Amino acid sequence: MKQGISIRKAVETDIDCIGKLYEDICDHLEKHNNYSGWKKGIYPVRADAEKGLMENALYAAWAGEKIAGTVILNHEPEEGYKNGKWLTEDDYRYIYVIHTLAVHPEFLKCGIGTKLLMFAEQKARKEGCVSIRLDVVKGNIPAEQLYQKCGYQLMGTVSLGYEAYGLPWYHLYEKVL
């Protein structure tokens, strides 16, 4: 990749690009291995980006004028996280949770996912957080390899209540900062 990547908090004018990014990813997944189980029109969708923006938790990675990826970073765990065996205490004021880490198909294997994780870690450390947690659908091998490469530890497997979508099991990961 020739140009650098900049990551910043998303703004209202980014929402169309992020909604399109989600659609492009789902289109790509329909044609290739859909390890994530994401489905166009179901998840992720523009409304997820709008909610992240409204909660001041949506970040976008840009390669010049092109959106390369996004992440939602907040202190709100999924309900099923209570069934996890974690390395740090469950005080989510000091724990960031990564949601909807997404990389545009045009930028796969360019290090965008790693850059978004590093950004999240820097932000968390700056704010005094003790760890970062996330979940990934069991069998999403590319994502799990990325998280493990970046120092996240597998903490167990739980249901997050998405059985109706054919997604019964999720692996929980945590990185202590």
Alpha carbons 48 and 115: distance in angstroms, whole number: 21
pLDDT reported for residue 48? 98
Query: How much of the chain exceeds pLDDT 70, in percent?
Result: 98
pLDDT at 94 over 80: yes
pLDDT at 150 over 60: yes
pLDDT at 76 over 70: yes
CA distance 28 to 19: 14
Predicted confidence band at 51 (pLDDT cuts at 50, 70, 90)? very high
The arithmetic mean of pLDDT across residues 16-45, rounded, is 96
Band (pLDDT 50/70/90 cuts) for residue 70 is very high
How big is the CA angle at 89 (ends 144 and 117), to the nearest 5 degrees?
35
- Residue pair 109/93 in contact (Cβ under 8 Å)? The answer is no
For position 113, what pLDDT does the model report? 98
What confidence tier does 156 reach under pLDDT thresholds 50, 70, 90? very high
106-133: per-residue pLDDT in tens?
Answer: 999 999 999 999 999 999 999 999 999 9
pLDDT at 28: 97
| pTM for the whole structure | 0.96
pLDDT of residue 82: 96
Q: In what order do the strands lie in the sheet with 95-103?
A: 5-9, 58-63, 66-74, 95-103, 131-137, 170-176, 153-158
**pLDDT of res. 9:** 98
All structural domains of the chain? 5-176 (3.40.630.30)
Predicted confidence (pLDDT) at residue 2 exceeds the cutoff of 60: no
